[in-house]
Each structure stands twice: as C-alpha cells, then as structure tokens.
Amino acid sequence: MFVKPTRDRRAERREATRAEIVDAAWELVRAEGLAALSVRDLARKVGLQAPSLYSYFASKNAIYDALFAQGAAQYLEDVEAQLTPTGDPLQDLRAGMHAFVRFCTDDPVRYQLLFQRTIPGFEPSPESFAISIAGLESVQRRIAGLGITEPGDLDLLTALGTGLTDQQISNDPGGDRWIRLVDSAMEMYFTHVTHRKSRP
C-alpha cells in the first residue's frame, strides 16, 4: 500500500531549480538591464535549453513576477529588521531613510523593478503586489510609532525617499551626492511634520 512520504524530494528539487533560475535571472538583469532579460540567455546560464524553462515558469513575465516577489520580500525584511525605536524620532527617521536609500542603491535594478514602472508588458501578480504593500504598511506603522500619522506625511516621506534615491542612482551612481543630504532632509522633514500649526 502507498504511504505518503513526509518529504517530497521531487518538489524540493523542483523548488531548488526554480530558485537557481531566479538567482541567475538576477545576475542577468544586473549585468544587462531589466529589459534585456531573455529566456534563451537565462536557460543557458543554468545549463538548460530554452524550452525547458517553461517547465518551471509559464512565461517570461512569470519570471519577472518571481523577481518582483523576491525583491518585495527583501524590502519587507529590510524594513522589519530595523524596527527598533530609540526614543529619538529624528534619529529613527534618519536611520530608516539611510536604510531605504542603501537598499535601493545596493541594487538599482531591483529598485527599478519594485518602485518604477518601466517594463513594457509586466504587471506584478496580486500575490506579489501584496508583499510590496505589506512593506509600505510596515513603514506606515513604523512612522506612526514616531507620532507621524497624517496620510500626507507618509506620502511626503515616500516622495523624499524615491527622490533622493532617484537622483542618486541617475546622476551620481556609485557616489554619495544625494546620500549626504539624507540627514539634513530628515531634519527638514521632521521639523515640518512636528511644527505644524494646526491639523489640516
């Protein structure tokens, strides 16, 4: 009689191969650009023929989606990892923004995939998108803990984050021309959101 094994070695192997493909895809897009990903090149990189990839991913966009999901999970992890308020809100804001800009500049292609909409036919699946939403909600909770609860204040903070990051990546890649402004920008922001005269 058939006994269901506790481990499904076949499924494990399959997942391992999928992970290998995703890793190789990151290498490719980092080297050639996000839009330059091709199924052929990717297959060769993992020692397969192109059609064999379709046993693991239904389409090229499914591969993009796997990259998006993994990047969003890394972002969520990155945000959650620094949830340690010090009692000094400004210091926490500075640390959080530094972490964000570093996360983005560490891997500009990942930033492009997660926070810009630049790939022609690709939209993340609802499941993958939910992960990135969770990341934003984590930021929201984090700054709420610092006393910043106005929706517009969160929006202003995300604008500052993407603006500093965008300029850094586009106009001074590898440098620190906008990274140097993070502390000052957070001071500006913190003063603004705390010295508000009236609730709008």
Partner DNA sequence: GTCTATATTTGGATAGAC
Partner DNA sequence: GTCTATCCAAATATAGAC
Q: Which two tokens stand for residue 132?
A: 């990135």
Residues 6+ apart with CB under 8 A from 173: 108
- 199 makes contact with DNA (CB under 7 A): no
Among the residue ranges 45-53, 63-71, 127-135, 158-166, the one whose residues contact a second copy (CB under 8 A): 158-166
Provide, rounded to whole angstroms, the least separation between the CB of residue 55 and a second copy.
Answer: 28
Residue from 13, 102, 141, 192 in contact with a second copy (CB under 8 A): 192
- 39 makes contact with a second copy (CB under 8 A): no
- 30 makes contact with DNA (CB under 7 A): no
CA distance 108 to 127: 23
Residues 6+ apart with CB under 8 A from 143: 93, 96, 149, 153, 154, 157
- 149 makes contact with a second copy (CB under 8 A): no
Can you list the alpha helix ranges (DSSP code H) found in the chain? 9-32, 39-45, 50-53, 60-81, 89-106, 108-115, 126-144, 151-171, 182-194
Are 29 and 111 in contact, with CB atoms under 8 Å apart?
no
Provide, rounded to whole angstroms, the least separation between the CB of residue 39 and DNA.
Answer: 3
Count the neighbouring beta carbons within 10 Å of the beta carbon of residue 163: 13
Q: State the binding string over 38-77 for DNA (x if CB under 7 A, else -).
A: xxxx-----xxxxxx-xxx--xxx----------------
Binding site for a second copy (CB under 8 A): 33, 35-36, 112, 115-118, 120, 152, 155-156, 158-164, 166-167, 170, 177-178, 180-181, 184-185, 187-189, 191-192
Binding site for DNA (CB under 7 A): 10, 14, 17, 36-41, 47-52, 54-56, 59-61
